[in-house]
């Protein structure tokens, strides 16, 4: 239980202060924070609250969206790195971005698409590599580890052109292991027939292990298709075993995007999360 971390988005109604208090109240030792809520609280005040509570920051979500390129994206990611450094976060989660001109969750414009739209998937992936070459040294100088998160292929168009753990590990290899790593998120990678081999290959590159279930059928808004562990189709124990056998010693973070979970009492959500973590993620489920 000392490795269980509450990703703040699981209890979306809670502010940073409320989430920190909730972790303490429920005996958790780590929390994953989101930049939007940290900005509302203030980075310095957020860091102060976390440290006063004796918590670890298992991750800061999120940097990335690199595929549209430009100075603005790089500048925002530098700010994200600075925030992660101030919070003492174990890593900065990077959602790399989809095809240029495709806004997350938004339809394309009429005709050829939205402004700046491109179908050049290989080119979009190259933009990620180019941006990483700029950001990785910046993060390394500040003691921040970038964590590349492959997303389920259904998000390739609008959120992440990196869909497999193999792709994410390949992008890491030019950089020191303490500078660039990967996220293993069960929702995004459970389906991959090469998952166990790629987890072993990632090894020390695993910067974050995030868990939630994959619901079936998915809701109309597939972003909200994450469920509490045990409510969907994922077999967690083999994945958890592979991650631990690969040498991962960090926190195990529960990150759920789900309208019903968000509407529920946050304390009840955390209580259920703790029980399912023990029974399903770590236990024999």
For residue 125, the domain's CATH number is: 3.20.20.150
pLDDT at 285: 44
DSSP alpha helix (H) spans, 88-245: 121-141, 165-172, 186-189, 195-202, 236-245
Q: Is residue 146 scored above 50 in pLDDT?
A: yes
Query: Average pLDDT for residues 153-174, to the nearest whole number?
Result: 98
pLDDT at 181: 98
**Residue 29 CB neighbours (<10 A):** 17
CA distances 152 to 37, 71, 156, 184, 272, Å, are: 25, 28, 7, 11, 25
CA distances 141 to 89, 178, 192, 238, 274, Å, are: 15, 11, 34, 36, 36
Query: Average pLDDT for residues 33-62, to the nearest whole number?
Result: 98
Question: Number of folded domains in the chain?
Answer: 1
229 Rama sector, left if φ>0, alpha if ψ -120 to 50, beta otherwise:
beta
Query: Average pLDDT for residues 212-239, to the nearest whole number?
Result: 98
Question: Tell me: the pLDDT tens digits for 75-120?
Answer: 999 999 999 999 999 999 999 999 999 999 998 875 566 788 999 9
Q: Is residue 215 scored above 80 in pLDDT?
A: yes
pLDDT at 110: 59
Structure tokens at 100: 């240029």
Domain carrying residue 32: 4-282
**What is the DSSP secondary structure assignment for residue 273, as one 8-state letter?**
H
Model confidence at 61, in pLDDT bands (50, 70, 90)?
Answer: very high
- β pairing state of 4-7 and 180-185: unpaired
Query: Average pLDDT for residues 34-48, to the nearest whole number?
Result: 98
Contact 102, 158 (CB under 8 A): yes
């Amino acid at each position: 239980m000392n490795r269980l971390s509450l990703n703040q988005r699981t209890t979306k109604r809670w502010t940073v202060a409320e989430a920190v208090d909730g972790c303490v109240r429920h005996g958790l030792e780590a929390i994953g924070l989101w930049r939007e809520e940290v900005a509302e609280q203030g980075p310095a005040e957020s860091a102060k609250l976390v440290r006063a509570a004796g918590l670890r920051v298992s991750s800061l979500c999120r940097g990335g969206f690199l595929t549209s390129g430009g100075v603005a994206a790089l500048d925002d990611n530098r700010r994200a790195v600075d925030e992660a450094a101030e919070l003492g976060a174990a890593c900065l989660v990077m959602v790399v971005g989809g095809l240029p001109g495709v806004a997350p969750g938004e339809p394309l414009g009429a005709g050829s698409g939205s402004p700046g739209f491109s179908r050049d998937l290989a080119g979009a992936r190259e933009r990620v590599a180019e941006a990483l070459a700029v950001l990785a040294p910046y993060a390394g100088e500040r003691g921040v580890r970038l964590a590349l998160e492959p997303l389920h292929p259904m998000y390739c168009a609008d959120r992440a052109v990196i869909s497999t753990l193999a792709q994410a590990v390949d992008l890491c290899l030019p950089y020191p292991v303490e500078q660039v790593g990967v996220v293993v998120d069960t929702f995004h990678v459970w389906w991959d027939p090469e998952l166990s081999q790629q987890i072993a290959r990632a090894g020390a590159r695993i910067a974050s292990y995030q868990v939630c279930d994959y619901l079936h059928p998915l809701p109309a808004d597939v972003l909200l298709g994450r469920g509490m562990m045990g409510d969907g189709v994922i077999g967690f124990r083999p994945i958890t075993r592979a991650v631990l056998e690969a040498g991962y010693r960090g926190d195990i973070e529960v990150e759920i995007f789900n309208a019903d979970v968000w509407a529920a009492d946050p304390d009840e959500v955390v209580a259920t999360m703790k029980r399912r973590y023990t029974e399903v993620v770590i236990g024999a489920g």
